[in-house]
């Protein structure tokens, strides 16, 4: 079965494929209209993107919205994660804001909300979280986005292999929930 993935982020697309393709779901990319992400929650933004992609293509569509929430910053960057600071300055901005925050107050979590919209109007929505801390500097060469400063145990997400990250990450958690929900849905 073909599903459109409503994302232009190659890293997210790779994560989706690693987890969902074993379900015999073929994830295809399409040239889609840009959708304004003006929701107040991650799931609202994911739904808007998935619904738009479904309407444009006539195929079931999957989209996510994800972000980093830092307790010491009152939940920032939150739903504004991708727009928190100019591109190339986001990690630096977080590290600067966190420079005087002690280790026990550096708690943070990633959220991934995924919406799957079907042409018949059915919707599946799931959310996954991963708890960790904000590091003091960028570590590792892998990953993307805020991965180099997000510490899960003793390692940043950027220091993990894709398989290690998938096992614990917010998107990995959400995709496994989606996998279960899709299996149930497709059996009907």
For residue 49, give every residue at least 6 positions away whose Cβ sits within 8 Å of its Cβ, in sequence order, or none: 6, 7, 35, 37, 63, 65, 115
Catalytic residue among 65, 100, 104, 147: 65
Does 166 qualify as catalytic in the annotation?
A: no
Specify whether the CB–CB gap between 117 and 51 falls below 8 A. yes
Give the whole-angstrom CA distance, residue 137 versus residue 126: 31
Q: Which residue has the tokens 């079965």?
A: 1
Residue 78 to residues 11, 56, 112: CA-CA distances in angstroms? 20, 28, 11
| Residues that are catalytic | 65
């Amino acid at each position: 079965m073909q599903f459109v993935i409503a994302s232009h982020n190659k890293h997210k697309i790779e994560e989706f494929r690693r987890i969902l393709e074993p379900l015999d779901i073929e994830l295809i990319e399409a040239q889609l209209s840009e959708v304004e992400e003006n929701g107040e929650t991650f799931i609202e933004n994911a739904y808007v993107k998935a619904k738009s992609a479904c309407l444009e293509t006539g195929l079931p569509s999957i989209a996510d919205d994800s972000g980093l929430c830092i307790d010491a910053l009152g939940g920032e960057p939150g739903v504004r994660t991708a727009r928190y600071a100019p591109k190339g300055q986001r990690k630096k901005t977080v590290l600067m804001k966190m420079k005087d925050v002690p280790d026990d107050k550096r708690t943070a979590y990633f959220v991934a909300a995924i919406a799957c919209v079907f042409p018949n109007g059915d919707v599946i929505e799931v959310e996954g979280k991963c708890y960790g801390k904000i590091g003091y500097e960028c570590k590792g060469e892998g990953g993307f986005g805020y991965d180099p400063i997000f510490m899960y145990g003793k390692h940043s997400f950027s220091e993990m292999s894709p398989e290690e990250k998938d096992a614990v990450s917010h998107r990995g958690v959400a995709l496994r929930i989606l996998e279960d929900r899709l299996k149930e849905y497709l059996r009907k």
